[in-house]
Structure formats: C-alpha cells, structure tokens
Amino acid sequence: MSSTLPPLQDAAEARLILGSTSRYRRELLHRLHLPFAVCAPAVDETPLPGEAPATLARRLALAKAREVAARFPQALVIGSDQVADLDGQPIGKPGTHERAVEQLHAMRGRTVVFQTAVAVVCQARGFEAQDLAPVSVRFRALDDAEIEHYLRTEQPYDCAGSAKSEGLGIALLDAIDSDDPTALIGLPLIRVARMLRDGGLNPLVAA
C-alpha cells in the first residue's frame, strides 16, 4: 500500500469517521475513495473474565464506534477490532520482540482464527450495524531461525499474533481462508461497504 495518503478531514465536519488510529485500517479505508476523519476511541480494551476472542472483538468494535459516535453524533463512525484466536484463547499484539517470539512459537504448525469485527454507528439516526469476519490462518511448521529473521525484518509488534500478512509475514503461512480479503489486515472492506450503504453512504455513488 502507498505511504502517501490523501489528507484527512476534520472530525467535526466529517460525514464519515474511522474510530481507530491504526495506520493499517486507515490505508484500507482509503481504498473506498471516501473522505473521512480519524478519531481515537477512548475504550478500555481489557478482556472480560472468560470472554471468548470472537465475543471480545465484537464488543470492542461496537464500543469503539459508539464512543466516537457519542462525540460526533451526525457522522457515520466505523469501529473495528481484531483478536487472534488459538484454541479459544485470545492472542493480542505482542508489543515486544520477546513476546512475538513466544506467540509465533505457539502458533507454528497450528491453525489460528483471526476474529476481525467491525461496527458502524450513527447516533443521530439511531443506526447501528456490526459483523464478524473470521479468517482461518494455517501457519507453517516454522523453525527458530525463520521466526527470528521474520521478526527482525518486519518488526510486527503492533499486529495481533505477530503476523503481518501483507508483508514478509505471508511466508509464515500455508493457507488463508476468508470471505473478505482485507479482514486479516484489520478492516473487512466488503462488510464495511455494505454497512455504509445501509447507513446511507454508498462508495459507488458520488456525493
């Protein structure tokens, strides 16, 4: 994806707001050629006791959209969250090299479901929509040297499960199974476009 992105709108004037500071989601949303603003949601992302990864992703996506929509009630607000799911246990962003090594050791030779949730909210119109786009990812039986080379090269410490598939991380994998091709990167655009249409903003119709 290009590092040169169109300028963002001011949130107070925007018809569409991305409730996320993720650069990956911002780059993906630009693909729809819609002007939008970015606003950081003030949401506690701590999992609830015993909360399943899919439930956590859904709850946080909706909470993010609702929190930003409460501040900008006229706008359509997109919230999204992704939780890597290994046998029902959530795997978050590693944050450090050491934690990323642990994650990839645990996932090698295994299938991980990346639970990617998205929600769209317009408070003024009482509009809410949400959906889940699970992505099943089968990791290769990676050796320690491959993991170390990948992490030193890509440094994916802000990616759930340490897997950045749009870069060198694709070499970690044997297979990806998904019905929404951008879901693994962090924003399922097929679902986003559908929700925006339902909310009155069609990316294929000029404003």
Whose CA is closest to 142, among 167, 114, 116, 162?
Answer: 162
Active site residue 81: yes
What radius of gyration do the chain's Cα atoms show? 17
Structural domains of the chain, ranges and CATH numbers in brackets:
16-198 (3.90.950.10)
The tens digit of pLDDT for each residue in 11-65 reads 888 899 999 989 999 999 999 999 999 999 999 999 999 999 999 999 999 999 9
| Digit-coded pLDDT (tens) for 83-114 | 999 999 998 889 999 999 999 999 999 999 99
186 or 92, greater pLDDT: 186
Which is it for strands 37-38 and 173-177: parallel, antiparallel or unpaired?
unpaired
Say what the pLDDT of residue 8 is.
87
Provide the sign of the torsion angle of the four alpha carbons 51, 57, 58, 64, taken in this order.
positive
- Per-residue model confidence (pLDDT) at position 2: 44
- Catalytic pick from 10, 44, 81, 174? 81
